[in-house]
Chains A and B, each alone.
Chain A
Amino acid sequence: MKLPVTITINGRAYQREIEPRLLLVHFLRDMAGLTGTKIGCDTSQCGACTVLLDGVAMKSCTCLAAQADGASITTIEGLSADGQLAPIQEAFWAKHGLQCGFCTPGMVLATRALLETTPQPTPEQIRHALEGNMCRCTGYQNIVRSVQHAANMMGGRP
Chain B
Amino acid sequence: MYAVDFDYYRAGSLADAQKLLGDHPGAKLLAGGHSLIPLMKLRLAAPPAVVDIGRVAELRGVTLSGAAVRIGALTTHTELAASADLGRAAPALAETAAQLGDPTVRNRGTIGGNIAHADPASDLPTVLVALDARINVVGPSGHRTIDAAKFFTGLMTTSLEENEIVTSIDVPVAQPGRGSAYVKFSHPASRYAVIGAAAAITLSGGTCSSVSVAIGGLVAHARRLPSVERALTDQAPSESVVAKAAAAVAADLGRDVSGDIFASAEYRTAVAPVYVKRALLAAAARASAR
Interface, chain A (partner B; CB < 8 A): 1, 3, 19-21, 23, 42-45, 47, 50, 56-59, 62-64, 66-67, 69, 110, 113, 128-129, 131-133
Contact = CB atoms under 8 A, between A and B. Distances in A.
B8 A1 contact: yes
Contacts of B37: 23, 44, 62-64
B103 A57 contact: yes
Interface stretch (B89-97, B104-112, B169-177): B104-112
B161 interface: no
Nearest to A129: B103
Contacts of A23: 2, 37, 41
Contacts of B30: 64, 67
Contacts of A44: 34, 37-38, 105
Contact of B38 (A20, A58, A62): A62
A62 B108 contact: yes
Interface of B: 1-8, 10, 30, 33-34, 37-38, 40-42, 50, 52, 54, 101-105, 107-108, 189-191
Contacts of A47: 102, 104
Contacts of B5: 19-21
Given A1-B7, A20-B7, A43 B38 contact: yes
Contact of B52 (A66, A129, A132): A66
Contact of B104 (A1, A43, A57): A57
A70 B129 CA distance: 38
Contact of B107 (A3, A20, A58, A67): A58
B104 A59 contact: yes
B104 A50 contact: yes
Chain A CB within 10 Å, residue with most, of B3, B4, B6, B8: B8
Given A3-B8, A64-B37, A66-B52, 18 more contacts: A1-B8, A20-B7, A20-B50, A21-B5, A42-B1, A42-B41, A43-B38, A43-B42, A44-B34, A45-B189, A58-B108, A59-B105, A62-B34, A67-B52, A128-B103, A132-B102, A132-B105, A133-B102
Nearest to B101: A132
B107 A57 contact: yes
Contacts of B8: 1, 3, 20, 64, 66
B104 to A, nearest CB: 5
Contacts of A21: 2-6, 40
Nearest to A19: B5
A21 B41 CA distance: 9
B2 A45 contact: no
B191 A67 contact: no
Nearest to A132: B102
Which are the 6 A-B pairs with shortest beta-carbon distances?
A: A132-B102, A20-B8, A131-B102, A21-B3, A1-B7, A132-B104
A152 to B, nearest CB: 22
A62 B52 CA distance: 14
Contacts of A64: 8, 30, 33, 37, 52
Contact of A67 (B1, B2, B33, B41): B33
A113 B108 contact: no
Contacts of B42: 43
A128 B102 CA distance: 8
Contact of A113 (B7, B41, B103): B103
A19 B7 CA distance: 8
Contacts of A19: 5
Nearest to B38: A44
A3 B9 CA distance: 10
B103 A45 contact: no
Contacts of B41: 23, 42-43
Contacts of B191: 131
Contacts of B38: 43-44, 62
A1 B27 CA distance: 14
27 contacts: A1-B7, A20-B8, A21-B3, A21-B6, A21-B40, A42-B1, A42-B41, A43-B38, A43-B42, A44-B37, A44-B38, A45-B189, A47-B104, A56-B107, A58-B104, A58-B108, A59-B104, A59-B108, A63-B33, A63-B37, A63-B108, A64-B33, A64-B37, A67-B54, A110-B104, A129-B103, A132-B103
